[in-house]
Chains A and B, each alone.
Chain A
């Protein structure tokens, strides 16, 4: 058995050590908000946080997680940053098909947690690992700035 801390709760799973965290979340823990897109850390759909850091869960063996805190799209709304980002995404109606948006939101939250006022270049750097085939990039950029302003105002 492998013990994980997911969204603040201890969870035990019986998984092969090389199983990517993505599939443990989706299949063992039935948390399907984290998406499978490419399996090669090329598209960002599977982005989760390990101790607040954005990682691609499709390339993260479950055995490598250890005691690090896993945060997923299902739990990100519990943080102040997550709440602000989700609110901005809702206000700007960012998603189209929506499939990549869990990963986009997780990457955006990780950016805003370390950079309160990201520039366009900062956003490009932090978000260019996340593909959106519907082409919502401009709305994502606007929503990140919107969330940043909410977070700064409230600080």
Chain B
């Protein structure tokens, strides 16, 4: 079940909006203009996504945000397949905001939850197929032959008699025809493009500096704003001395907002110097004494009272005599996304009242909702809010939040100038929207034969649903994000109770690549490993025996083990660990080969991943997404931690929030299993299994069980 997709659809459509301090306004519906968005003079544009011009160029508009996951290539591929376009003539443009580009799984134009391919798999293919049928009909009419005697290939309609017409030559005639409502789609066996490794369309601009990210926007008279952001949600600047800031050459204005103090200047450097010269007394509010120890204690309280039951089967209390029992406590910290491109947005609010218009340029994952939000911020009608989606220098969920677009719009509205707001790395890292910290207590039992018979999980964690501003915790009290990966684990265990206890230490929580799976798969795949060890069983065989009713899990587990040479000898000091997960509709198993450095830091040499993501669009991008997701998860497992002291975040930049670098990069092999299932997501599912695979490898080598993230190198030094 995809919590994000189902909940956002519900939440957004209700014009959602529990206000969150950090968001200031709720999400709202965008506008549908009904314009023929792709239309250009003399072009064939049967739907919002497609435009074919007489010069045979095929242009596909992509309404999703490109953050490296390849949507600017995948979306055109879906359409081009059914169109039978000549791929070398296909180009892609970023679409404007319009309900025509709403992600069908969200009902909103937004990019997240590894949904783009899943959501557009059918509509984009239908769009291509409908256009193809119109072009065939136009050619058949011109040749006075039956449409069924014509076929299409590489941008041409070809008649059985040998006549051939390019799509460009049919543009005018096809434009006069009705759009078929139920075009016939190809059988997957007839795909020419889908499922084949295909070069990305967005690479060239990323090699010579010409690709434009949000931070690259230039406008005449543009002011740059750097903002001292509230160090805690709910914190307020109570006293601001801006005399020194205003004395910095280039500083034009200092604006205090409830969520921070912004310095507007002629350029970034002056604004940054001005920001550093501000003297601000913050009222930290209720979180003034927040510490990581207090966070842990609160999460423990949540786990202790876990009474929102996600799944209950049998009787967890009835452990038969002779059973082996075990229990363990796991903990994961808050995490920042640390996108390479710090959060930024350029906004220009012009006019007042009914004449007010807003234009923003931003790398955003939620351009649809943002249009509605900014219309509230600037008190303009949604139709007068134009959102230009730029390239995203990393997203990982962080750019699903609207905070930076809200701040930029407010600053432009107040100053009356076009403003580019750029968060410093430090303000970016300290200002919330974290992966939730979480504690899970497990109990398990094994029968005399060493088979798992009971599993109990009590999860204490904050609620992303409540924090999101557009979702609501369902009546059963279970936040789906806090429980995903645990509540839907695949293992065949008779007696189970998997429950959630909400705990809210205070920091703003948010979606982070693979969301709840990012910590929960570490928890459960480590505990299953503990059960295997208690049963004195091989961790791969132990899992396999519990997966007989789960063929897709079992297949990736077996494939990863086989490709990794599970059970084969390894060099001295190197050990293997395995983990498996399903998230976002895709199944991934990973085997990690790990050794332990003298500094107590695990060194990962090789990762073998097996993936079943259903039918594939572009295997080349799938391999890279899995590899990149492994790096993202490994960075978190080895280093990732946002901690608190006296109410403030202790990390600020890449020196105290380290991430994986070239010299630590393992070899990665990705094996994609052939599948005829519908496509699953691919941007996130590679992340969850890596932390437990590495931790389980460390256990195999040392007997030391790692139950907290990031891995405790001090403890491992003694291992």
Q: Which residues of A contact B (CB under 8 A)?
A: 16, 18-20, 23, 26-28, 30-40, 42-43, 45, 72-74, 77, 86, 89-90, 93-102, 105, 123-125, 127-141
Report whether A40 and B653 are in contact in the complex, using a CB–CB cutoff of 8 Å: yes
A37 to B205, CA, bound (A): 19
Cβ-closest chain A residue relative to B199:
A93
Chain B 170-210, CB-CB to A under 8 Å as 1, else 0, gives 00000000000000000000000000000110111111111
Report whether A105 and B340 are in contact in the complex, using a CB–CB cutoff of 8 Å: no
A97 to B683, CA, bound (A): 12
The verdict on B624 contacting chain A, using a C-beta distance below 8 Å, is: yes
Report whether A23 and B208 are in contact in the complex, using a CB–CB cutoff of 8 Å: no
Report whether A138 and B627 are in contact in the complex, using a CB–CB cutoff of 8 Å: yes
A/B interface sample: 21 pairs, CB < 8 A? A27-B268, A32-B209, A32-B216, A36-B342, A42-B653, A42-B654, A74-B209, A86-B207, A90-B204, A94-B203, A97-B66, A99-B340, A101-B207, A128-B663, A130-B662, A133-B339, A133-B394, A135-B629, A135-B630, A135-B631, A137-B660
A57 to chain B, nearest CB (A): 12
Q: Beyond A27-B267, A86-B207, A137-B662, is A37–B631 a contact (Cβ under 8 Å)?
A: no
The verdict on B129 contacting chain A, using a C-beta distance below 8 Å, is: no
Cβ-closest chain B residue relative to A132:
B340
Residue in A39, A45, A132, A138 whose CB lies within 8 Å of B667: A138
Cβ-closest chain B residue relative to A19:
B269
Report whether A131 and B668 are in contact in the complex, using a CB–CB cutoff of 8 Å: no
A97 to B268, CA, bound (A): 23
Report whether A43 and B424 are in contact in the complex, using a CB–CB cutoff of 8 Å: no
Chain A residues whose C-beta falls within 8 Å of the C-beta of B654 in the assembled complex:
38, 40, 42-43, 131
Report whether B267 and A100 are in contact in the complex, using a CB–CB cutoff of 8 Å: no
Report whether A131 and B659 are in contact in the complex, using a CB–CB cutoff of 8 Å: yes
Q: Beyond A95-B203, A135-B630, A138-B627, is A37–B209 a contact (Cβ under 8 Å)?
A: no
B246 to chain A, nearest CB (A): 16
A16 to B654, CA, bound (A): 27
Report whether B665 and A39 are in contact in the complex, using a CB–CB cutoff of 8 Å: no
A90 to B654, CA, bound (A): 28
Q: Beyond A23-B267, A93-B199, is A16–B339 a contact (Cβ under 8 Å)?
A: no
Report whether B68 and A39 are in contact in the complex, using a CB–CB cutoff of 8 Å: no
A39 to chain B, nearest CB (A): 6
Cβ-closest chain A residue relative to B652:
A40
The verdict on B142 contacting chain A, using a C-beta distance below 8 Å, is: no
B318 to chain A, nearest CB (A): 46
A18 to B661, CA, bound (A): 30
The verdict on B600 contacting chain A, using a C-beta distance below 8 Å, is: no
* Secondary structure dominating the interface of B: loop
Cβ-closest chain A residue relative to B73:
A93
Q: Beyond A40-B425, A140-B662, is A98–B655 a contact (Cβ under 8 Å)?
A: no
Chain A residues whose C-beta falls within 8 Å of the C-beta of B209 in the assembled complex:
31-34, 72-74, 102
Chain A residues whose C-beta falls within 8 Å of the C-beta of B394 in the assembled complex:
97, 99, 133-134
The verdict on B471 contacting chain A, using a C-beta distance below 8 Å, is: no
* Size bracket of the B interface: 35 or more
Cβ-closest chain A residue relative to B339:
A133
Q: Beyond A128-B662, A133-B338, is A36–B624 a contact (Cβ under 8 Å)?
A: no
Q: A39-B653, A95-B207, A98-B68 are in contact. List 14 more A-B contacts (CB 8 A).
A: A28-B267, A32-B215, A32-B216, A33-B209, A35-B341, A35-B393, A40-B654, A42-B654, A94-B203, A96-B69, A96-B628, A98-B205, A125-B663, A137-B662
A59 to B630, CA, bound (A): 31
The 8 closest A-B pairs by CB, nearest first: A33-B209, A135-B631, A99-B393, A96-B68, A98-B206, A97-B68, A135-B628, A32-B216
A130 to B663, CA, bound (A): 10
Chain B 618-662, CB-CB to A under 8 Å as 1, else 0, gives 001000110111111001000000000000000001110001111
A36 to B426, CA, bound (A): 13
Report whether A33 and B208 are in contact in the complex, using a CB–CB cutoff of 8 Å: yes
Cβ-closest chain B residue relative to A42:
B654
Report whether B207 and A89 are in contact in the complex, using a CB–CB cutoff of 8 Å: yes
Cβ-closest chain B residue relative to A100:
B340
Chain B residues whose C-beta falls within 8 Å of the C-beta of A35 in the assembled complex:
213, 215, 340-341, 393
Report whether A131 and B425 are in contact in the complex, using a CB–CB cutoff of 8 Å: no
Residue in B250, B269, B340, B422 whose CB lies within 8 Å of A97: B340
Chain A residues whose C-beta falls within 8 Å of the C-beta of B694 in the assembled complex:
none
Chain B residues whose C-beta falls within 8 Å of the C-beta of A138 in the assembled complex:
627, 665, 667-668
A12 to B702, CA, bound (A): 61
A134 to B683, CA, bound (A): 10
The verdict on B67 contacting chain A, using a C-beta distance below 8 Å, is: yes
Report whether A37 and B628 are in contact in the complex, using a CB–CB cutoff of 8 Å: no
A129 to B654, CA, bound (A): 11
Report whether B391 and A97 are in contact in the complex, using a CB–CB cutoff of 8 Å: yes
Chain A residues whose C-beta falls within 8 Å of the C-beta of B342 in the assembled complex:
36-37
The verdict on B249 contacting chain A, using a C-beta distance below 8 Å, is: yes
Report whether B667 and A98 are in contact in the complex, using a CB–CB cutoff of 8 Å: no
A135 to B662, CA, bound (A): 9
A127 to chain B, nearest CB (A): 4
Chain A residues whose C-beta falls within 8 Å of the C-beta of B326 in the assembled complex:
none
Chain A residues whose C-beta falls within 8 Å of the C-beta of B629 in the assembled complex:
135
Chain A residues whose C-beta falls within 8 Å of the C-beta of B267 in the assembled complex:
19, 23, 27-28
A141 to B667, CA, bound (A): 11
Residue of B205, B249, B627 with most partner-chain A CB within 10 A: B627
Report whether B632 and A133 are in contact in the complex, using a CB–CB cutoff of 8 Å: yes
Chain B residues whose C-beta falls within 8 Å of the C-beta of A131 in the assembled complex:
340, 654, 659, 661
Chain A residues whose C-beta falls within 8 Å of the C-beta of B340 in the assembled complex:
35, 37, 43, 45, 97, 99-100, 131-133
Report whether A90 and B68 are in contact in the complex, using a CB–CB cutoff of 8 Å: no
Cβ-closest chain A residue relative to B513:
A133
A140 to B665, CA, bound (A): 11
A72 to B210, CA, bound (A): 12
Residue of A26, A102, A127, A134 with most partner-chain B CB within 10 A: A134
Chain B residues whose C-beta falls within 8 Å of the C-beta of A30 in the assembled complex:
218
B234 to chain A, nearest CB (A): 27
B223 to chain A, nearest CB (A): 11
Report whether A97 and B67 are in contact in the complex, using a CB–CB cutoff of 8 Å: yes
A63 to chain B, nearest CB (A): 12
The verdict on B224 contacting chain A, using a C-beta distance below 8 Å, is: yes
Report whether A39 and B391 are in contact in the complex, using a CB–CB cutoff of 8 Å: no
Chain A residues whose C-beta falls within 8 Å of the C-beta of B250 in the assembled complex:
16
Chain B residues whose C-beta falls within 8 Å of the C-beta of A123 in the assembled complex:
662
Report whether B624 and A96 are in contact in the complex, using a CB–CB cutoff of 8 Å: yes
The verdict on B211 contacting chain A, using a C-beta distance below 8 Å, is: yes
Q: Beyond A37-B340, A98-B68, A138-B668, is A20–B269 a contact (Cβ under 8 Å)?
A: yes
Residue of B209, B393, B628 with most partner-chain A CB within 10 A: B209
Chain B 414-439, CB-CB to A under 8 Å as 1, else 0, gives 00000000101100000000000000
